[in-house]
Chains A and B, each alone.
Chain A
Amino acid sequence: MIEAKQSEFLLGCRDKLKELIAILDRDFEYASVLATDVTGLTYSVNQKTTSVSQLRDSERGFVVRVYKDGGYSEYSFNEIGDVHTLADKIRNNLLNQSRILKNAAKLDTPLLHEEAVTREFAGEVSEEFYEPDNQMILGKLKRLSDKGASYDGVINCSVTYNMKLINKMFISRNKNLIQGWGYSLVSCFFVVMKDEQTQYNYFGEEGWQGSDIIDKQYERFEAAYDDAVAMIGAPNIEPGEYEIICTPRAAGLIAHEAFGHGVEMDMFVKDRAIAKQHMGEKLASTITNMYDGAEGVKQTASYFFDDEGTLAQKTQIIRKGYLVSGICDALSAARLHVQPTGNGRRESFERKAYTRMTNTYFGTQANTLEEMIKATQYGFLVDGVESGMEDPKHWGIQCMLARAKEIRNGVLTGKVFTPVVLTGYVPDLLSNISMLGTDIGLEGSGYCGKGYKEWVVVSDGGPYLKTKVRLG
């Protein structure tokens, strides 16, 4: 592993962008620019085709934020050209649009006050990110795909490996920040057909490492294949309330949907989150701790500063069952008169910044999975994350899970139900947490939307977790 290099493209733009901000500072009370250079490759191999292409999330561009007469506006672009011409264009376009929208009163927002800070951050990356051995990587993926396809009934096995290098720079009157880091991600997806019924399963891993991550996946096929086969023809679960044990991935989905979205503080500004009225209250069992932060773990949603130039933090959301903090972007923090937590994130330089989760997870306790199963009279071990949705206004939660494995009298019976809709009231679900495992598993291959758009990479997880909830 080596220290990530800073983007030559960004460094090459720095002087022009400083000049741009200096010009805009004359006309606006605040001006900043975020510049992004995200590069990477996606390698895909299945039993029919192979591809090597630019990573879907790759981007190179800029977003300027300005403040005038009590309101913020932004201009996104991907070509600088002459700085004075660009400054004129930004100023004229944004002021024209302000005039067109003049009938709407502005949401009261104080001017951002930024402490002076100049810093350069570099994460660790594998050397191969800069000079990848494509042939070697494709060879590893082919062997992995072939292994998956060798199982009885598997129609196709698609394996994908992503290498992503993220470089961002933030410049304002007081801030001059630049960062570089990268991560890799491997995923395996296979379709199995038996008795004319089709089922699929997937697994993967991600982290701040290189293509070694591919090698670790060979041994995971057996269990994934067994799960897929067990789901073929499996019945639906009888609707009802049950004791459940969540795998770390399922626990992560609950963390994300329960008090992840529920404490995004831009929702506090809109009065869309009930958590605003319950800060400091006990809403979970005393063994429950929950965190969010780009700092503290090395996962896909880790970074050094966010898309508004706020340094990353680790925020404890639940401490010993008490809701102690939300997470916040810079503008919402200014409106709520609190400090931002480094959670201002954009889907891309072309989109608005919102309060977004980063790496969200439950803390550990001392129970083993075996102890949890033994402690279950009748219930299920739930796994296979598909999707989730929250209702921060009422603490409703919906999680779509692939399967529930039956537990009777403290023993897994081998019977599987699919698919599973987990629903409930967040404080009930969290208050019912009775056991937590010893090791945190984080999963970061997913994207999280705000509503049904604004997709950003997040990771979530936790230890194995035992609670009680409604399944259907």
Chain B
Amino acid sequence: MERIINILKEAQVSDFRIMEVKKTSHQAFFVRQFLDQHRISETVHTTLDVYMDTEENGQKFRGRASKEIYPGESDEEIRKDVEQLKLNASLAKNPFYEIVKDEKYREEEKDYDLMSLLSEVVQGVQNVRDTDSEKINSYEVFVNGYYYHIVNSQGTDVAFNTMNEEVEIVINSVDDGHEIEIYHDSTFAGKPISEITDDILEVFRIARDRTKAVPTKKMMNARVLLSGDFNPDFFDYFLTRTNSRYVFYGESQTKIGDDCQRESEGDKITLRLVSELPHSSDNMPYSKDGNKALDLTVIENGIYQNYWGDQITGYYLGMEKITDANNFVVEPGTKSVAEMKQEPYLEIIKFSDFGMDGITGNFGGEIRLGYYYDGEKVIPVTGGSITCNMEKSLKHIYLSQETKQYDNCIVPCTIELFDVNVAGEQ
């Protein structure tokens, strides 16, 4: 990094930022419990941003260009890269903005024993025993360690470690000769191995129910409960609406102080960013711009409170505190899950692929597993789909009192929606 900084000093750039990421990844791939292959990846990636300022009619402009400086590049190659970056940055003439100033933070590089951790996580999966009806089809385990070092020309110098683990698993379940599969992917950091095992046993239960599922019936104006690992995506809508990039570029019209649940029935949404959450894979103390991760209320009782985002668009919007969104917590609602289940409902546990469009607010997907309660019995269902819009849904919504952590967020276990049309068998 020192070598690059010296070359940049000679090159008379207006400003610069260098981000060096040392990444180590250990990976194992299994088909059933047989080792398909294993991998190790050890890389260093150095990204250089060069900023060039110009002035026209008394107005200041700034351009930025970025490039990876590859390991092994000679001084001459780096000089050539810098000259090209200066040229490209000069062409990208934008209103002036400041880069992050004087942030200082230093963690020494940790020597994670990722090879042993890989073995432990694999053991967490192998602790699950196949049953007569459920079995592990295949799985992939990744354990990753990162060391970030971010330096810029305005005195920012931060260095920190992060790590995460990922388990992707496919479960088969068979009932009366009919076999189905459930796909499950989870990312986390430092979770107890027993919880990894428990998570998979929960997927076994879901898989078992799917084998007994009957086709979802077509329903108009149904009461639908969302109770799955897609619940965080539902609340991502509020993060998109308050992301400074979306706001600055006009893709979100959200204004601070707007009430997105005016004249609505039910629970009001409160969502807060939190800088640190136990076992989250997103506990980055600083953003890639060098901004400190902050706790911040994004929406409170349905009223937008703050934007979040990157340094450039945050500066353009005049944000006082600029922070990235790593982890978030949604406040619980007023009804228990049991209360929500007193009347007939369709509860969706798994979508084939849940889609949430943060710009239009459209959301939905095909139902892979749900439970239909007709007032007397609960029947597992599969197939069919729902298509909804947030603006309409927020007019009448309840959130469960119970909450659950999904990697980098804590959200209500169940979201209750009304007047939903369900595509299904006639």
Contact = CB atoms under 8 A, between A and B. Distances in A.
A337 to B, nearest CB: 16
B91 A134 contact: yes
Contact of B248 (A48, A350, A470): A48
Interface in B76-121: 87-89, 91-95, 115-116, 118-119
Given A100-B116, A421-B365, A453-B168, A352 B359 contact: no
Contact of B138 (A103, A191, A272, A471): A272
B423 A104 contact: no
Interface in A91-148: 93-94, 96-98, 100-101, 103-109, 134-135, 138
Given A97-B118, A352-B27, A239 B218 contact: yes
B353 interface: yes
B418 interface: no
A239 B249 CA distance: 35
A423 B183 CA distance: 18
Given A107-B34, A393-B180, A76 B43 contact: yes
B271 to A, nearest CB: 21
Interface string B146-173: 0000000000000000000000101000
Interface string A76-96: 111111000000000001101
A423 B251 contact: no
B229 to A, nearest CB: 11
B37 A236 contact: no
Contacts of B368: 391
A428 interface: no
A389 B92 contact: no
A421 B116 contact: no
A472 interface: yes
Contact of B385 (A61, A158, A421): A421
Contacts of B27: 352
Contacts of B93: 50
Given A107-B35, A423-B383, A191 B355 contact: no
A451 B183 contact: yes
B359 A78 contact: no
A386 B43 contact: no
Interface in A182-239: 191, 193, 196, 198-200, 236-239
B3 interface: no
A26 interface: no
Contacts of B249: 46, 48, 156, 158, 191
A72 B37 contact: yes
Contact of A419 (B91, B387, B424): B387
B28 A101 contact: yes
Contacts of A73: 37-40
Contacts of B29: 352
B75 interface: no
B224 interface: no
Interface string A333-350: 000000000000000001
A200 B183 contact: no
A271 B421 contact: no
Contacts of B366: 389, 396, 398, 421, 423
Nearest to A37: B70
Interface stretch (B7-15, B59-67, B296-304, B396-404): B59-67
A94 B28 CA distance: 12
B423 A471 contact: yes
A236 B71 contact: no
B250 interface: yes
B137 A423 contact: no
B405 interface: no
Contacts of A350: 23, 25, 41, 43
Contacts, number: 235
A449 B30 CA distance: 19
B44 interface: yes
Contacts of A158: 249
Contacts of B180: 393-394
B115 A97 contact: yes
A278 to B, nearest CB: 15
Contacts of B89: 52
A138 B87 CA distance: 13
Contacts of B45: 78
A50 B26 CA distance: 39
A400 B38 contact: no
A446 interface: no
B71 A78 contact: yes
Contact of A93 (B40, B63, B116, B352): B40
B118 A193 contact: no
Interface string A153-171: 0011010000000000000
B352 A269 contact: no
A9 B138 CA distance: 38
A14 interface: no
B185 interface: yes
Nearest to B388: A236
A236 B70 CA distance: 50
Contact of B352 (A50, A54, A96, A396): A396
A413 interface: no
A155 B250 contact: yes
B164 to A, nearest CB: 13
A54 B44 contact: no
Contacts of B426: 240
B72 interface: yes
Interface in B17-58: 23, 25-31, 33-45
B384 interface: yes
B71 to A, nearest CB: 4
Given A134-B88, A352-B39, 5 more contacts: A51-B63, A61-B43, A101-B118, A352-B27, A393-B181
24 contacts: A50-B91, A52-B89, A71-B38, A74-B38, A75-B41, A77-B42, A77-B43, A96-B115, A104-B33, A191-B251, A196-B253, A270-B31, A270-B137, A350-B23, A350-B41, A391-B352, A396-B366, A419-B360, A419-B362, A421-B365, A423-B366, A423-B383, A472-B422, A472-B424
Interface of A: 41, 46, 48-54, 58, 60-61, 71-81, 93-94, 96-98, 100-101, 103-109, 134-135, 138, 155-156, 158, 191, 193, 196, 198-200, 236-240, 269-272, 331, 350, 352, 386-389, 391, 393-394, 396, 398, 400, 418-421, 423, 451-453, 470-472
Interface of B: 23, 25-31, 33-45, 63-68, 70-72, 87-89, 91-95, 115-116, 118-119, 122, 126, 137-138, 168, 170, 179-181, 183, 185, 218, 248-251, 253, 352-353, 355, 357, 359-360, 362, 364-366, 368, 383-387, 421-424, 426
